[in-house]
């Protein structure tokens, strides 16, 4: 069966792009998807917010595809061409924390950093393991959890291979558990509140982080909490538009990619009606949103579809 990617005619340009939890060096990493994202986006600043390389897994056994190399080369190329690239290591790439304050290939390595929004608001940027009680008090449990997560991803891959044979769509086990298992939901909620509290203690207006592989934008007690998700399953990035808006891009959905595949297979080409709507849109991103409205308005099952989340920040 042949597939085609949904076309994006021009590069999407943003004031800042935030990505984390890529986990290069693991079988679960969607390096091809991320490379496609990096090829079709430009930004003044690119923040790499931890767990870009998975040192934990690489210590156990070497796994490094050409696509993983290509992602690193693409990021280095962006830095050489003028993009301000800032790397904030996480717990899986904690080895890089030994190089805080240094620069490699025009990439700045920082423990954390403040991002200043268009409207003057200050956003604390940190990976987020600093506010994870398991990482702080029981790292052995975090290592055990990492093993369990890897096992779940392996099962998920096998399970979805069977679903594809039956003509069924992709289904994420870990995403289901995060939303349905009470303890997982409570952990995410506690983590978000702790990150917001930490940001408030630092006199920040918001916090931008990763770590828990759960993309979100929300207000928590007056603090704007942003999590950019991951490139293992959800394939999401946080972006700041030039007008100051923050938005989560679900890249796999925008491009018609299927999360969970070893290679970036794509969904069937868009309907002609979608293309007609996209032609009249002001930007490639608007074209996508208009196309999705067309798709779901013509679906036999009517309902609310949420592919991205956005948050507008008012000026002081």
pLDDT digits (tens, 9 = 90+) for 280-296: 434 445 544 454 444 43
Cβ count within 10 A of residue 203: 9
Report d(CA 274, CA 272) in Å as an integer: 5
Burial class (CB in 10 A: 0-12, 13-18, 19+), 116: exposed
Nearest to 291 by CA among 309, 274, 273: 274
**CA-CA-CA-CA torsion for 290, 291, 292, 294, nearest 10 degrees?**
90
Q: If you average pLDDT over residues 76-91, what whole number do you get?
A: 97
More confident residue, 166 or 233: 233
Can you list the domains of the chain with their CATH numbers?
A: 12-131+185-268+305-311 (3.60.21.10)
Q: Tokens 């030994």 appear where?
A: 98
Report the chain's mean pLDDT, rounded to a whole number: 77
The backbone torsions φ and ψ at residue 123, rounded to the nearest 5 degrees and listed phi first, read -115, 120
Burial of 72 (0-12, 13-18, 19+ CB in 10 A): middle
Regarding beta strands 113-116 and 12-19, do their DSSP bridges make them parallel or antiparallel, or are they unpaired? Answer: unpaired
Cβ 132 vs Cβ 149: under 8 Å: no
- Tell me whether strands 122-125 and 206-209 are parallel, antiparallel or unpaired: parallel
Distance CA 154, CA 131 (A): 28
- How much of the chain is helix, strand and coil, in % rounded to 5? 40, 20, 40
Higher model confidence: residue 221 or residue 178? 221
Structure tokens, 260: 């969970």
The beta-strand segments (E) located in the chain are: 12-19, 41-48, 84-87, 103-104, 107-109, 113-116, 122-125, 206-209, 216-220, 223-227, 236-240, 246-250, 310-311
131 touches 201 (CB < 8 A) = no
- Average confidence (pLDDT) over 111-135: 87
The pair phi, psi for residue 257, each rounded to 5°, is: -85, 160
Q: Band of the pLDDT at 277, cuts 50, 70, 90?
A: very low
Most confident of 137-151, 207-221, 265-279: 207-221
Residue 218 pLDDT greater than 50, yes or no: yes
* Stated pTM of the model: 0.72
Task: Residue 174: count other Cβ atoms within 10 Å of its Cβ.
Answer: 19
pLDDT at 4 over 50: no
Confidence class of residue 62 from pLDDT cuts 50, 70 and 90? very high
pLDDT surpasses 90 at 149 = no
pLDDT band at 235 (very low <50, low <70, confident <90, very high): very high
**Angle at Cα 136 formed by Cα 130 and Cα 140, nearest 5°?**
130
How high is the pLDDT of residue 130?
85
């Amino acid at each position: 069966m042949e597939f085609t990617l949904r076309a994006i005619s021009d590069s999407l340009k943003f004031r800042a792009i935030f990505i984390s939890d890529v986990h290069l060096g693991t079988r679960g990493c969607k390096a091809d998807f991320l490379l496609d994202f990096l090829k079709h986006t430009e930004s003044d600043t690119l923040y790499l917010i931890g767990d870009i390389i998975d040192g934990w897994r690489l210590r156990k056994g070497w796994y490094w595809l050409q696509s993983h190399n290509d992602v690193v080369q693409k990021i280095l190329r962006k830095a050489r061409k003028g993009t301000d690239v800032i790397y904030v290591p996480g717990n899986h790439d904690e080895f890089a924390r030994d190089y805080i304050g240094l620069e490699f290939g025009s990439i700045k390595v920082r423990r954390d950093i403040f991002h200043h929004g268009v409207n003057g608001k200050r956003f604390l940027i940190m990976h987020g393991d600093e506010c994870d009680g398991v990482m702080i008090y029981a790292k052995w449990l975090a290592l055990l959890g990492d093993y369990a997560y890897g096992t779940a991803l392996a099962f998920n891959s096998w399970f979805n291979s069977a679903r594809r044979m039956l003509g069924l769509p992709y289904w994420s086990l870990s995403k289901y558990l995060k939303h349905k298992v009470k303890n997982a939901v409570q952990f995410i909620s506690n983590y978000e509140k702790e990150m917001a509290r930490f940001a408030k203690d630092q006199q920040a207006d918001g916090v931008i982080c990763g770590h828990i592989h759960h993309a979100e934008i929300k207000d928590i007690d007056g603090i704007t909490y942003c999590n950019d998700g991951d490139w293992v399953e959800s394939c999401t990035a946080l972006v700041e538009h030039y007008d100051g808006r923050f938005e989560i891009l679900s890249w796999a959905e925008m491009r018609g990619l299927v999360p969970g595949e070893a290679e970036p297979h794509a969904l069937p080409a868009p309907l002609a009606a979608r293309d007609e709507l996209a032609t009249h849109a002001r930007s490639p991103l608007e074209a996508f949103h208009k196309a999705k409205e067309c798709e779901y308005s013509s679906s036999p099952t009517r309902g609310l579809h949420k592919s991205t989340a956005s948050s507008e920040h008012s000026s002081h």
